[in-house]
Amino acid sequence: MLIYQVFLVAFALSILIAGLVVAVRLIWCAYQSFRAHHIAFAAFSVLAIACLAGLFAAVLVVWFGYGVAHSKKDIWTDLTVVGLTGLPFYAASFALWRLATYFQSVVRRRAAQPGAAADAPQVARR
Residues 6+ apart with CB under 8 A from 31: none
Ramachandran quadrant class, 6 (left: phi over 0; alpha: psi -120 to 50; beta: rest): alpha
pLDDT, position 105: 93
Q: Going residue by residue through the chain, which has 126 residues, state the pLDDT in tens, using 9 for 90 and above.
A: 788 889 988 998 999 999 999 999 999 999 999 998 889 999 999 999 999 999 999 999 999 988 888 788 888 888 888 899 999 999 999 999 999 999 999 998 887 776 555 554 555 544
Ramachandran quadrant class, 107 (left: phi over 0; alpha: psi -120 to 50; beta: rest): alpha
pTM: 0.80
- Rounded to whole angstroms, the Cα distance separating 23 from 63 reads 21
